[in-house]
Amino acid sequence: MDITEIIRRWQSAQSVGAIKRETGYDRETIGKYISLAESKGLKREIRLTTEEIRGLFSAELSVSPSRSEKTDILVKHAEEFKRLVTDKNNPLKAKSAFEVLSERHEFSSLVSYTTFKRFAKTHGITKDVRSSTCRIEIAPGSQIQVDYAKVGYLFDPMKLKRRTVYAFIGTLGNSRHKFVEYVFSQNQQSFAASHVKMFNFFCGTTQSLRIDNLKSGVIKPDLYDPQLNRAYREMSEYYGIFIDTCRVATPTDKPIVERDVQTIREEFRKMIVKNPSVTISELNKEIQDWIKNIYGQRKHGTTQLKPYESFLSEEKPALMPLPREPFEASLWKEAKVHPDHYIQVNSKAYSVPHAYIGKTVWVKVTGKLVYVYYNDRLIKQHLIPKGFRQTDLNDFPDNMKHAMDSGLPMYLRMKAKQISPEFGELINKILSPHAYINMRKAQALISIAEKHPSELISKASMSAQSEYKRIHPKLFKSIIEKIESGIKENETAIAISENTQMFLRGMEYFTSNN
């Protein structure tokens, strides 16, 4: 009767949406039976009676089980269905749970999703929630809408722990074709890198990109004067794409991708349920396949077109071409120039010209180079060192160089040697790599050494050189204190009196046969 009703309404020129509202079947099921009717030569102009329609579909109806048989199948798996939709860590939506169960128990050919929905509603497991939407027409190649959302948790074999997984989603406004990447981190570099992968996936870029006010992309959420972070702004300028930011707490500014967040989160949960040991790289491979071959081949509820086919025919030709070389995502950080002429970025130190001491600069870090900017002007460039420090002697003022040339390092070496030969070796070792850079450290060590006996300093110097690779004043002071405490313990030990020594016996006394 339901199939007959679908065909009858179709012959009455009702739209698929109207048939869906009146019968409760989804668009895919309705489209399947309409296509089947057309394949049998049935046309809208030819009106058939109910009996004739039943006869036309007799073969399909004969293999379909009765409603009671379908219900028995669903009752058999009802508890499993409830576990899937109520799981605390990875709950699935009703449709996703149905797809998982159909695949597990192979009853997709016997029970439709519509039957499953009726069963779920009857048992109070799901509710029918409807909302109205307004379609926004977007020209091909004009806009990508981007969102970044938490989708769940996954074990990371590199960190050996469960970590939060985020989904980067970019949806083309016209065709609804999308790019998805699951990632563990959301920072400047990973966010820009996901955009580069998206542009390569689409084989082009749109004229504009609509983005939410994410910290990784937008620093100041101001619609008319968005202060994008430098890495993101650099990426947009490289590809010639305009960034349009949404108003704060207004997801309707990007409704197309907003709805995709739920879909992609649900696909993530389904893949986890099917394969709990799946890796994030495998997830990304599966989701890309799903986008092209499953989601991309379904008729979209709004456009009534298949997203992937619409992308190939309409949107892809309208995209702007990509540059020859892909954009290299860089890291931007603020840093202050310290009195010793150095800035510290990513646990490494870089010299900066003397004129910028005390000022705050911007530092751009790429794969091999570090660029230092002040007021958007490049003032210094360094190779990333293998060690801790990268120095350019030209960054230091002439009077500092004169101090070194006038023999101050030599004076420190002589002074250290007078305290103790071993201490002299330690100071010489510290000053050897670069006298000026380590001069303050050497002066601090000499200041500490002058307050203690030379014998104690000798022991501390030998201990420092043999046990530690890098010596600093605080460490040297702790070594001295440790040695001092050991000496005091020996001095305060209780001496054995002569009367007590009369009762001492050697080991042979206890092992003899007498």
- Tens-digit pLDDT profile for residues 178-195: 999 999 987 788 888 899
Angle between helices 280-293 and 255-274 (to 10 degrees): 120
Q: Please tell me whether the overall predicted TM-score, pTM, comes out greater than 0.75 for this model.
A: no
Residues ≥6 apart with Cβ < 8 Å to 127:
121
Cβ density class 151-163: b for 16+ within 10 Å, e for less = bbebeeeeeeeee
pLDDT at 234: 83
Q: Which residues contact 200 (CB under 8 A, 6 or more apart)?
A: 322, 326
Q: What is the pLDDT of residue 132?
A: 47
Chain mean position to CA 69? 47
Which among 191, 152, 187, 188 has a CA at the least distance from the CA of 168?
A: 191
Instruction: Quote the pLDDT of residue 131.
Output: 47
- What residue ranges do the domains of the chain occupy? 2-122, 143-318, 331-396, 400-491
| Token pair belonging to 494 | 């209780």
What are 47-100's pLDDT values in tens digits?
A: 666 567 667 766 655 545 555 566 777 778 878 888 888 887 888 888 888 888
> Which residues in the chain show pLDDT less than 50?
63, 128-133
Which CATH architecture is the domain 143-318 placed in? Answer: 2-Layer Sandwich (3.30)
